[in-house]
Amino acid sequence: MNRYNYIYVNLCANNYFVYVKYYVTFAAGFNCIQMDNIKIFGKGWNFSQDGPGNRLLYHFQGCNFTCPWCSNPEGIPVKGALLVRSEKLQDSFCPYGAIKNRVLDRERCETCPERACVHKNRNEAIRFSIKEYTIAEIIDEVENSRGLFHSGGGVTITGGEPTLQFKLLKKLLTELKHIHIHTAIETNASHERLPELFGLIDLLIMDIKHFDPKIHKNILGISNGRIIDNLVKAAQTDIDIWIRIPLIPDFNNNIQTMERLAEIIKSINRKGITVELLPYHDYGRVKWEQTGKVYPMPDKKIPADDLIAYRKIFINNSIQILKT
Ligand code: SF4
């Protein structure tokens, strides 16, 4: 038995059971989420988009922000989300009668004991966002991928918002540091304990979406005070920092906002901060529909001239810009 094996008592949907991890197999797709497993809604590889070199990304489930432009809405609910392709849905997929005339009654799914629809029709009409992994499973996968982390690559933990699973995130980063993997986290930087992770990462990728605390809170649900505090604390360490600013129509797409953000970043006066401006896109639209929600963004784009003008503002403030 290794250090990840221990006994659980689990209470779930009127079922009470005890099991020893790895020694008892229980029904695949059981509706409960094990508290010691990392909940992930996506993973995959990319090159230099989320940190240097070739990187393995893990998208942690759950987010505390309410960005209406989110391109991964299935990653927002902590408890996970069902994604439905209604053109492929059939009433017979649900043994509890929650699908009628190809329309899913999501309220009934909230208390579903087993999510049979997902396991019968995997990856076709309906899927559940969360897959669970132990830290040991992720470390094994990373070890087996070691030869692929070329050009300074490594692992990036992103989301959702990875700090919502703080304890497990910290444990995983500790393990990754122990085996000398280059690590980055991509975060909205709102977690009060974020600075505890700075000694465990090589790169902090953090968003700053707006300078105004009221606007920030109105649109995203949380003020930006702690985000700026955490940036100041990160700047006192020697980790690399990328600040991502999404350019969003009718939210921050104006010269005044970019000038204020440039002022804030300049005032921190730290070498090695890179800013990346990310023009809005609507790639998430389909997934909003698949998760049963109306896509809330207006049909607008960021003009190319605006992007050029905003980049100049940062460059004129001696801030390094990452062009992607
Ligand atoms: S989650 Fe449960 S109730 Fe909902 S469609 Fe699937 S099997 Fe039916």
Tell me what pLDDT residue 30 has. Answer: 33
Tell me what pLDDT residue 155 has. Answer: 98
Whether ligand 1 lies within 6 angstroms of the CB of 88 is answered as no
Give per-residue pLDDT as tens, 155-172: 999 999 999 999 999 999
Helix axis angle for 255-268 and 225-235, nearest 10°, is 40
Q: What topology does CATH give the domain 35-74+131-322?
A: TIM Barrel (3.20.20)
Cα separation of 172 and 134, whole Å? 9
Q: Where in the chain is the domain with CATH 3.20.20.70?
A: 35-74+131-322
Ligand 1: centre distance to CA 74 (Å): 17
104 Cα nearest atom in ligand 1 = 5
- Among 32, 99, 119, residue to substitute to test ligand 1 (most atoms within 8 Å of Cβ): 99
Predicted model pTM? 0.87
State both tokens at 237.
């360490």
Give per-residue pLDDT as tens, 52-95: 999 999 999 999 999 999 999 999 999 999 999 999 999 999 99
128 Cα nearest atom in ligand 1 = 1
- Output the furthest CA–CA distance in the chain (Å, rounded): 62
Give per-residue pLDDT as tens, 252-285: 999 999 999 999 999 998 988 999 999 999 999 9
Tell me what pLDDT residue 122 has. Answer: 63
118 Cα nearest atom in ligand 1 = 6
97 Cα nearest atom in ligand 1 = 8
For residue 89, what are the CA distances in angstroms to 29, 82, 95, 247? 19, 13, 13, 36
pLDDT at 183 over 50: yes
Ligand 1: centre distance to CA 110 (Å): 8
Q: Are 132 and 33 in contact (CB under 8 A)?
A: yes
For residue 144, what are the CA distances in angstroms to 34, 91, 201? 25, 42, 20
112 Cα nearest atom in ligand 1 = 2
Whether ligand 1 lies within 6 angstroms of the CB of 96 is answered as yes
For the chain, the average pLDDT equals 89
Ligand 1: centre distance to CA 111 (Å): 9
pLDDT at 221 over 70: yes
The residue whose C-alpha atom lies closest to atom 3 belonging to ligand 1 is 109
The residue whose C-alpha atom lies closest to atom 4 belonging to ligand 1 is 109
Tell me what pLDDT residue 323 has. Answer: 77
Tell me what pLDDT residue 1 has. Answer: 31
